[in-house]
Chains A and B, each alone.
Chain A
Amino acid sequence: MMYYDQLIFEKSQEGRKGYTLPKSEIKEYKLPDELSRAECPRLPEVSEFDVVRHYTNVSFKNFGIEKGFYPLGSCTMKYNPKINQDIAAMEAFTSVHPYQPVETAQGLLKIYHDTQKILSKISGLDTYSLNPYAGAHGELVGLMIIKKYHQSRNDHKRTKIIVPDSAHGTNPASATVAGFESVEVKSNRDGTVNIEDLKKVLGEDIAGIMLTNPNTIGMFEKDILEISRLVHEAGGLLYYDGANLNPILGISRPGDMGFDIMHINLHKTFSTPHGGGGPGSGPVGVTKALKKFLPLPVVRKAGDMYLIEYDSEESIGQISHFYGNMGVVIRAYAYLLTMGKERLKEIAQMSVLNANYIKESLKDTYKLPVEGICKHEFVFDGLKDRSIDVRTLDIAKRLLDYDMHPPTIYFPLLYKESMMIEPPENESKQTIDHFIETMRIIAKEAKDDPDMLKNAPYNTPVRRLDEALAARAPKVKFRDLEEED
Chain B
Amino acid sequence: MFKYLPHTHADIEAMLKRVGLDSLDELFSEIPDSLKGFELDVPSQHSELELINHFKNLGAMNTPLIPFMGAGAYDHYTPTIINHLINRQEFLTAYTPYQPEISQGTLQYIFEYQSMICQLTGMDVSNASMYDGATATAEAMFMATAARRKKRVLVSGTMNPNIIRVIRTYAEPQDIDVVIIREKNGAISESDLKKRLTDDTAALIVQSPNVYGVIENYAGVNEMLKEKKALFIINQDPSTLSHLKTPREYGADIAVGEAQSLGIPLSYGGPYIGYLATTKKYMRKMPGRICGVTKDADGKRAFVLTLQAREQHIRRDKANSNICSNQSLMALFVTIYMATMGKKGLYEAQQLSYNNAHYLYDQLRKLPQFEVVFEDRPFFKEFTLRATVDIDTMNHKLQEQGFLGPLHLGRFSSDKKGLVTFATTEKRTKEEMDTLIRILGEL
Instruction: Across the interface, name the chain B residue whose C-beta is closest to A104.
Output: B63
What's the least CB distance linking A58 to chain B, in Å? 5
Instruction: Across the interface, name the chain B residue whose C-beta is closest to A79.
Output: B4
Instruction: Across the interface, name the chain B residue whose C-beta is closest to A167.
Output: B316
Inter-chain CA distance A481–B320, complex, in Å, is 29
Q: How large is the interface on B (under 10, 10 to 19, 20 to 34, 35 or more residues)?
A: 35 or more
Q: Note all chain B residues with C-beta closer than 8 A to A312.
A: none
Q: Is the CB–CB distance between A5 and B306 below 8 Å?
A: no
Q: Note all chain A residues with C-beta closer than 8 A to B98.
A: 408
Q: Is the CB–CB distance between A324 and B65 below 8 Å?
A: no
Q: Within A101-147, which residues are at the interface with B (CB < 8 Å)? A: 101, 103-108, 110-111, 118, 121-122, 124, 133-137, 139-140, 143-144, 147
Inter-chain CA distance A87–B51, complex, in Å, is 9
Q: Within B331-362, which residues are at the interface with A (CB < 8 Å)? A: 332, 335-336, 338-349, 351-352, 354-356, 358-359
Instruction: Across the interface, name the chain B residue whose C-beta is closest to A426.
Output: B4
Instruction: Across the interface, name the chain B residue whose C-beta is closest to A75.
Output: B95
Contact of B317 among A58, A59, A172 (CB under 8 A): A172
Known: A174-B322, A474-B306, A477-B111. A406 touches B105 (CB 8 A): no
Instruction: Across the interface, name the chain A residue whose C-beta is closest to B59.
Output: A92
Q: Is the CB–CB distance between A397 and B32 below 8 Å?
A: no
Which one of B73, B170, B268 has the greatest number of beta carbons of chain A within 10 Å?
B268
- Cβ-based interface call for A345 (8 A): yes
Q: Note all chain B residues with C-beta closer than 8 A to A322.
A: 72-73, 132, 162, 268-270
Contact of B90 among A5, A62, A105, A140 (CB under 8 A): A62
- Cβ-based interface call for B91 (8 A): yes
Q: Is the CB–CB distance between B112 and A7 below 8 Å?
A: yes
Instruction: Across the interface, name the chain A residue whose C-beta is closest to B290.
Output: A476
- Cβ-based interface call for A194 (8 A): no
- Cβ-based interface call for A317 (8 A): yes
Q: Which of B11-19, B365-373, B383-391 contacts A (4 or more CB under 8 A)?
A: B11-19
Q: Is the CB–CB distance between A169 and B316 below 8 Å?
A: yes
Q: Is the CB–CB distance between A462 and B101 below 8 Å?
A: yes
Q: Is the CB–CB distance between B241 and A41 below 8 Å?
A: yes
Inter-chain CA distance A324–B271, complex, in Å, is 7
- Cβ-based interface call for A1 (8 A): no
A-contact bits for B103-127, CB 8 A (1 contact / 0 none): 1111011011011101110101110
Q: Note all chain A residues with C-beta closer than 8 A to B60.
A: 92, 107
Known: A133-B270, A277-B95. A104 touches B65 (CB 8 A): yes
Inter-chain CA distance A42–B122, complex, in Å, is 10
Q: Note all chain B residues with C-beta closer than 8 A to A316.
A: 169, 172
B-contact bits for A174-194, CB 8 A (1 contact / 0 none): 111111111000000000000
Inter-chain CA distance A32–B4, complex, in Å, is 59
B-contact bits for A261-289, CB 8 A (1 contact / 0 none): 00000000000011111111000000000
- Cβ-based interface call for A154 (8 A): no
Q: Is the CB–CB distance between B61 and A110 below 8 Å?
A: yes
Known: A55-B109, A99-B407, A360-B19. A469 touches B118 (CB 8 A): no
Q: Note all chain A residues with C-beta closer than 8 A to B19.
A: 353, 356-357, 360, 373
B-contact bits for A1-45, CB 8 A (1 contact / 0 none): 001010111001000111101101111110110111110111111
Q: Note all chain A residues with C-beta closer than 8 A to B7.
A: 350, 353, 428-429
Q: Is the CB–CB distance between B296 and A466 below 8 Å?
A: yes
Contact of A176 among B29, B295, B322 (CB under 8 A): B322
B-contact bits for A76-87, CB 8 A (1 contact / 0 none): 011111010101
The interface size of chain A toward B, counting residues with CB under 8 Å, comes to: 201
Q: Is the CB–CB distance between A463 and B336 below 8 Å?
A: no
- Cβ-based interface call for B410 (8 A): no
Instruction: Across the interface, name the chain B residue whose C-beta is closest to A345.
Output: B40
What's the least CB distance linking B109 to chain A, in Å? 6
Q: Is the CB–CB distance between B169 and A318 below 8 Å?
A: yes
Inter-chain CA distance A18–B48, complex, in Å, is 37
Contact of B102 among A317, A400, A429 (CB under 8 A): A400
What's the least CB distance linking B415 to chain A, in Å? 17
Q: Note all chain B residues with C-beta closer than 8 A to A37.
A: 122, 241, 243-246, 249
- Cβ-based interface call for B224 (8 A): no
What's the least CB distance linking A374 to chain B, in Å? 9
Q: Within A336-381, which residues are at the interface with B (CB < 8 Å)? A: 336-350, 352-354, 356-357, 360-361, 372-373
Q: Is the CB–CB distance between A428 and B6 below 8 Å?
A: yes
- Cβ-based interface call for A464 (8 A): yes
Q: Note all chain A residues with C-beta closer than 8 A to B439.
A: none
Q: Note all chain A residues with C-beta closer than 8 A to B323.
A: 136
What's the least CB distance linking A51 to chain B, in Å? 5
Inter-chain CA distance A13–B350, complex, in Å, is 22
Q: Note all chain A residues with C-beta closer than 8 A to B293.
A: 470, 475-476, 480-481
- Cβ-based interface call for B215 (8 A): yes
Inter-chain CA distance A55–B426, complex, in Å, is 26
Q: Is the CB–CB distance between B58 and A111 below 8 Å?
A: yes
Known: A41-B120, A278-B328. A58 touches B283 (CB 8 A): no
Instruction: Across the interface, name the chain B residue whose C-beta is closest to A467.
Output: B304
Inter-chain CA distance A136–B215, complex, in Å, is 34
Q: Is the CB–CB distance between A325 and B270 below 8 Å?
A: yes
Instruction: Across the interface, name the chain A residue whose C-beta is closest to B101.
Output: A460
Q: Is the CB–CB distance between A17 and B269 below 8 Å?
A: no
What's the least CB distance linking A146 to chain B, in Å? 10
Q: Note all chain B residues with C-beta closer than 8 A to A55.
A: 85, 88, 109, 332, 336
Inter-chain CA distance A408–B404, complex, in Å, is 48
Known: A3-B300, A35-B217, A328-B271. A46 touches B36 (CB 8 A): no
Inter-chain CA distance A251–B271, complex, in Å, is 31
Q: Note all chain A residues with C-beta closer than 8 A to B162.
A: 318, 321-322
Q: Is the CB–CB distance between B95 and A60 below 8 Å?
A: no
Q: Is the CB–CB distance between B271 and A279 below 8 Å?
A: yes
Q: Is the CB–CB distance between A321 and B133 below 8 Å?
A: yes
Q: Is the CB–CB distance between B292 and A173 below 8 Å?
A: no
Given contact pairs A58-B105, A276-B103, A462-B302, enumerate 19 new A-B contacts (beta carbons under 8 Å): A8-B112, A18-B345, A28-B355, A51-B336, A52-B81, A55-B88, A63-B90, A93-B267, A181-B317, A273-B329, A275-B92, A276-B92, A296-B165, A337-B51, A344-B40, A352-B27, A462-B300, A464-B296, A476-B114
In the complex, 12 of the A-B residue pairs with CB atoms within 8 angstroms, ordered by the A residue number, are A36-B245, A55-B85, A63-B102, A172-B317, A177-B174, A256-B35, A276-B103, A338-B51, A341-B41, A429-B7, A466-B296, A481-B293
